[in-house]
């Protein structure tokens, strides 16, 4: 028997990168997986890969910065599967780098909404459904930049610090109910997001490898495995924690 037989997992931002890798990892462990995201083609491709491997999945096009769409997303999960056990609130973006005094209000709001407000809107709908089951696990996507600062990334850094604070607060509020809330804080991972900034995989790796004690950048599957563990019974006493996954970068 797999870890999550009979369980239902929701992954936002599941059309690529760490979201897709985690959706596939949940499915391999037996969960039915609902993939949410703004990009329909990418989200449906994740579901296709799940089904190719013998799993069951469903794509729901969703902008997690819109309260009504998040509400409809979770209603769809319940209508199709009758329950929600695990949620990986992964959707987000890096924003536009630059000095904080040169950031536009629109750019600030866009980054905060995608990375922080969307996590709150998601938890607001997910947790009540988990309470109906007698428990569940929420994993929020933070970042190693939620633990340190970084020049020219003010909105993103502020949002990720906020995600960690929100995660800890939710863990305190719901820990006694059987709902655990944790976060993952990846560092440099080979996904679309950093490649947009560096232009190529080679440039990305060339920049970060000398900085990371482990000597390499991370892979999406390594974050996916951490999320699966945090949802499993093996982490049953882990609550309100942000797990840094960055090869030791922020340990320096």
Rounded CA-CA distance 48/68 in Å is 27
- Please say whether the beta carbons of 49 and 73 come within 8 A: no
Helix (H) or strand (E) holding 32, with range, is: strand 32-37
Q: Kindly name the residue from 81, 86, 156, 174 that is annotated as catalytic.
A: 156
- Of 242, 132, 227, 112, which Cα lies nearest the Cα of 183? 242
**φ, ψ (nearest 5 deg) of residue 183:** -135, 155
**φ, ψ (nearest 5 deg) of residue 136:** 170, -175
What residues have CB less than 8 Å from 39, skipping those under 6 apart? 15, 16
Rounded CA-CA distance 185/245 in Å is 6
Q: Would you call 156 a catalytic residue per the annotation?
A: yes
Helices and strands of the chain, counted as H and E runs: 9, 7
Residues that are catalytic: 156
């Amino acid at each position: 028997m797999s870890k999550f037989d009979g369980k239902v997992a929701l992954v936002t931002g599941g059309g690529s990168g760490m979201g897709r890798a985690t959706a596939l990892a949940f499915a391999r462990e037996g969960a039915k997986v609902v993939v949410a995201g703004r990009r329909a083609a990418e989200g449906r491709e994740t579901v296709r890969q799940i089904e190719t491997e013998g799993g069951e999945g469903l794509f729901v096009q969703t902008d997690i910065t819109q309260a009504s769409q998040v509400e409809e997303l979770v209603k769809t999960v319940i209508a199709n599967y009758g329950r929600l056990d695990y949620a990986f609130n992964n959707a987000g973006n890096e924003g536009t780098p630059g000095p904080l005094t040169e950031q536009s209000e629109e750019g600030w709001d866009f980054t905060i909404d995608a990375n922080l407000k969307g996590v709150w809107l998601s938890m607001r709908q997910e947790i009540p459904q988990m309470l109906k089951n007698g428990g569940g696990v929420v994993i929020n996507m933070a970042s190693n930049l939620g633990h340190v600062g970084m020049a020219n990334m003010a909105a993103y850094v502020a949002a990720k610090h906020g995600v960690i604070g929100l995660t800890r607060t939710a863990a305190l509020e719901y820990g006694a109910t059987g709902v655990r809330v944790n976060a993952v804080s990846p560092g440099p991972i080979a996904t679309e997001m950093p490649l947009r900034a560096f232009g190529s995989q080679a440039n990305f790796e060339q920049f970060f490898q000398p900085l990371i004690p482990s000597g390499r950048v991370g892979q999406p599957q390594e974050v996916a495995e951490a999320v699966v563990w945090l949802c499993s019974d093996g982490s049953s006493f882990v609550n309100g924690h942000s797990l840094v996954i960055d090869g030791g970068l922020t340990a320096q």
